[in-house]
């Protein structure tokens, strides 16, 4: 199910309008987040549709807080924005970027010195969850904008996207999907670990 749609490198880069060098450099610097909180994709040169959502969201959020901080937020708070994707896709017009203000769903990041507080939902929900604290700056990205941008690129650059990025909690296959996510996370994290260096051989006598 999770692997039903896999992008090769060419299609994935075209969808995001990235070069190979840009993606590799940002990944190595920790400036990119992948699907489900992963620091890297689980399989070399294979990408999930949700990887595109994570990277596009990181890019949009970075305008406010910088690329590395945005990537960290998207990795660490992946459950929050995944729920936004699910909520957006339950609406008939989820692919539109222009929605009435009260219908827009946001990932909100509040900045106070070096501390970042992340909330998600409709603007009123997210702001209420911030406990009305005092923050230096507050940045938000509407998830509809992310999904719309990806679907626009898919049409322009002839990349096939699935009808939905996420499985809904009331779907009979939801538990299987979550199990596949957990397995995928283990593979991705194992692949991201640095390999131990080979020990030098004993000098010849």
128 assigned to some structural domain: no
Residue 58 has pLDDT above 90, yes or no: yes
Please report whether residue 202 resides in a domain. Answer: no
Domain that holds residue 21: 9-98+144-166
* 184 found inside a domain: no
Please provide the average confidence, as pLDDT, over all residues in the chain.
Answer: 89
Helices (H), the chain: 9-16, 20-28, 49-65, 67-76, 78-89, 123-129, 143-156, 174-192
Domain count within the chain: 1
The string of pLDDT tens digits covering residues 33-55 is 999 999 999 999 999 999 999 99
- Kindly report, residue by residue over 64-85, the tens digit of the pLDDT: 999 999 999 999 999 999 999 9
Amino acid 80: pLDDT: 97
Give me the mean pLDDT over the 5-26 stretch.
96
Residue 56's pLDDT band (cuts 50, 70, 90): very high
Task: Flag whether 182 is in a domain.
Answer: no
Q: Is residue 63 part of a domain?
A: yes
Confidence of residue 158 (pLDDT cuts 50, 70, 90): very high
Whether residue 188 lies inside any domain: the answer is no
In a domain, 181, yes or no: no
Beta bridge partner(s), residue 142: 106
Does the pLDDT value for residue 148 go beyond 80?
Answer: yes
Tens of pLDDT, residue by residue over 87-123, are 999 986 665 566 666 678 999 999 987 789 999 999 8
- pLDDT value at residue 81: 97
Is 81 a domain residue? Answer: yes
Mean pLDDT of 121-136: 80
Residue 195 pLDDT grade (very low, low, confident, very high; cuts 50, 70, 90): low
Q: What long-range pairs does 50-55 form, CB within 8 A, spacing at least 24? A: 50/82, 50/165, 50/166, 51/7, 51/12, 52/7, 52/12, 52/15, 52/16, 52/150, 53/81, 53/85, 53/146, 53/147, 53/150, 53/165, 54/78, 55/16, 55/18, 55/23
């Amino acid at each position: 199910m999770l692997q039903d749609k896999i992008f090769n490198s060419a299609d994935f880069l075209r969808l995001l309008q990235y070069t190979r060098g840009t993606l590799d450099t940002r990944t190595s610097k920790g400036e990119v987040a992948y699907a489900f909180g992963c620091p890297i994709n689980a399989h070399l040169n294979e990408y999930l549709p949700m990887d595109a959502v994570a990277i596009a969201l990181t890019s949009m959020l970075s305008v406010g807080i910088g690329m590395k901080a945005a990537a960290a937020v998207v990795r660490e708070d992946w459950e929050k924005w995944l729920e936004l994707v699910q909520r957006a896709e339950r609406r008939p017009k989820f692919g539109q970027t222009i929605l009435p203000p009260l219908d827009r769903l946001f990932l909100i990041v509040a900045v106070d010195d070096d501390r970042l507080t992340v909330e998600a939902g409709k603007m009123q929900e997210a702001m209420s969850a911030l406990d009305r604290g005092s923050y230096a700056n507050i940045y938000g990205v509407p998830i509809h904008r992310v999904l719309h941008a990806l679907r626009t690129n898919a049409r322009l650059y002839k990349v096939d996207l699935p009808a939905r990025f996420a499985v809904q909690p009331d779907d009979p296959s939801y538990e299987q999907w979550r199990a596949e996510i957990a397995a995928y996370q283990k593979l991705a994290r194992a692949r991201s670990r640095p390999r131990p260096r080979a020990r030098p051989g004993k000098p010849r006598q």
